Amino acid sequence: MGDYSSFVIGAYAVAITVLGGAVFLWKIRLARAKKMLAKMENFGESSQ
Amino acid sequence: MKILEKICSPLGWLSLGLLGYGIWHVLNTPADFQQGNSVAILFVHVSAAKMALFFYLVLVAASIRYLWKKGDTADTIAEASVHVGAAFSVVTLATGSIWGKPMWGTWWAWDARLTSMLMLLIIYVGLIALRGALEDRQRGAKAAAIFALIGAVDLPLIHFSVVWWRTLHQPASLGNGAPKLVGPMLTTLAVMGVAFTVLGTYMLVLKTLEVREQRRLHDKEEEHFHNG
Amino acid sequence: MDFRLLKVVYSIAWKDVVGDFRRRDTLSSMVFFSISVLVTFQIGFDPDRQLAVQLMPGLLWVTALFTSLVGLGRAFQDEEEDGGIETMILSPVPRGVLFLGKWLGNLFLTLVVNIILLILTMVLFNVDGWSHIFVIIAILALGTMGVTGLGVLLAALTQGTRSRETLLALLLLPLVVPLLIAGVQATAGALTGGDISPWIRLMVVFDVIYLTLAPWAFGWLVEE
């Protein structure tokens, strides 16, 4: 039986980074897009 | 679509909880006789692989729906599923490689399953590139849907030919992919499987919402551009 | 069988072929491109006689694949210059027939180049496959049919995009992996006298599937 702990930790770290990173990235992009849209709505209204 | 906004956050928390529970299981699973504790990697690797494939099915369903009914929702979901599927493919390949290093001695082996998964990833990337290259959204949607369906027919052929090719060149020395898991490991695998499924669903919902907002933003910008 | 439709297929194909032969640019670019690939391989690997025989099937197929990409990049070039693929919609010809015409034109051209490539490969690398040459040409033809069939469809899909050639390659290469695997194995088998029928069957299945699907998909793509 072998101890491959460093590999196990590495693998989980990669998985967390990729999946967590994707979630994080998409959340930020979603929030940013919503904010920009809100700004544009206000801009549109005020120029009317 | 409004439902998606409501369930997004709760799904996120649920995935986190399930993943935590899954990891607890992993930590409490006795090590395998043959592989030592590297079997822990397989729980992630196998679950990620299932998700990578599952999201291609979602893509196929969305593509067929789009070609049939031409709805924006179908196209948005199709686009989102590509990104989610790609993320899971990357995880599958990376964890597969890391698992393989202590087992086979190399960071990569051209075994049937890894090669097929790599091809799947390339097809996902191709879809992202295709949408990016076509500026007209309608054209992009149609092209992507058609390519996705061609890919769907092709993936079994690719897998089949790769398996055939590798059985010729690689007798059992490399080990035939992942060994069988038994006993308590099966429970852990099942838990991780469910956790990943919920996570994947959450990611799909999140990405779909993001794509939708981006499209709205893009449309608004076009509108301002034309009116301003 | 509607002979008028056949005539239309033939005329579309022939127009492309004649155009290519007359201008010679596509044909000669493809031939010289394949020669440079062979030279690059020689310089890169510098194989001895034995190694050359082992590498030859792979070398042949990889070169043929890349050379096909050169030809496919130009598949809809005339249409692009004349106003885009939309002009094809205006014609009353059924879409499937249009596709067949484009495909056959590209197939003829690519097959000619690939056969030249095969001969060049055997000559430059001193591989004696002359006794099996017709079998190898047949295998090459099966592969070329599939590659050009899917390739013409993808060329239509990517028409008018930026960095179109790169995109076409990115999309086409994974799809034709079964043909590549089968083609290389079958060619190697033909040279050594092994059993190549399973590989041939795979290629035939692939070609039948895609040459049935592609005209249909092309119709979907081009219609409004």
Quick one: which of B8, B13, B98, B6 has its CA closest to B48? B98
Q: Tell me the per-residue pLDDT of C103-158, one tens digit each, with 9 for 90 and over.
A: 998 999 999 999 999 999 999 888 888 888 999 999 999 999 999 999 999 999 99
pLDDT value of residue A45? 57
Quick one: which of B17, B82, B88, B12 has its CA closest to B50? B88
How far apart CA C71 and CA C66 sit, in angstroms, is 9
Residue of B nearest to C205 (CA): B157
Weakly modelled stretches of chain A, pLDDT under 50: 48
How far apart CA A38 and CA A33 sit, in angstroms, is 9
Helix (H, G, I), strand (E, B) or coil at B32: strand
- Which residues, 6+ apart, have CB-to-CB distance to A10 below 8 Å? B98
Provide the mean pLDDT of chain C: 87
Inter-chain contact B154–C153, Cβ cutoff 8 Å? no
How far apart CA C103 and CA B76 sit, in angstroms, is 32
B4: its two tokens: 């998606």
B202: its two tokens: 């959450």
How far apart CA C41 and CA C39 sit, in angstroms, is 5
Q: Tell me the per-residue pLDDT of C71-111, one tens digit each, with 9 for 90 and over.
A: 998 887 777 666 666 666 667 777 788 888 889 989 999 99
- Which residues, 6+ apart, have CB-to-CB distance to B63 below 8 Å? B74, B78, B144, B145, B146, B148, B149
Mutate to test the interface with B, among C150, C173, C181, C213 (most CBs of B within 10 A): C181
Q: Does A27 touch chain B (CB under 8 A)?
A: yes
pLDDT over 90 percentage in chain C: 50
pLDDT value of residue B5? 84
Quick one: which of C104, C77, C94 has its CA closest to C168? C77
Q: Give the minimum alpha-carbon distance from B43 to chain A in angstroms, rounded to a whole number.
A: 10
Q: Give the minimum alpha-carbon distance from C147 to chain B in angstroms, rounded to a whole number.
A: 13
Confidence class for position C194, pLDDT limits 50, 70, 90? confident
Weakly modelled stretches of chain B, pLDDT under 70: 1, 32-35, 169-181, 228
Mutate to test the interface with B, among C175, C195, C197 (most CBs of B within 10 A): C175
Residue of A nearest to B107 (CA): A7
Inter-chain contact C209–B153, Cβ cutoff 8 Å? yes
Comparison of pLDDT for C190 and C162, the residue scoring more: C190
| Tokens 């919902």 belong to residue | B205
pLDDT value of residue A48? 47
Q: Do chains A and B touch (3 or more CB pairs under 8 A)?
A: yes
Comparison of pLDDT for C78 and C176, the residue scoring more: C176
Mutate to test the interface with B, among C61, C76, C99, C157 (most CBs of B within 10 A): C157
pLDDT value of residue C141? 96
Inter-chain contact B203–A23, Cβ cutoff 8 Å? yes
Nearest to A7 among B102, B206, B214 (CB): B102
pTM for this prediction: 0.91
Read off the amino acid at residue C140.
L
pLDDT value of residue B222? 82
Residue of B nearest to C184 (CA): B165
Report chain C residues touching chain B, CB-CB < 8 A. Answer: 150, 153-154, 157-158, 161-164, 167, 170-171, 173-175, 177-178, 181-182, 185, 198, 202, 205-206, 209-210, 213, 217, 220-221
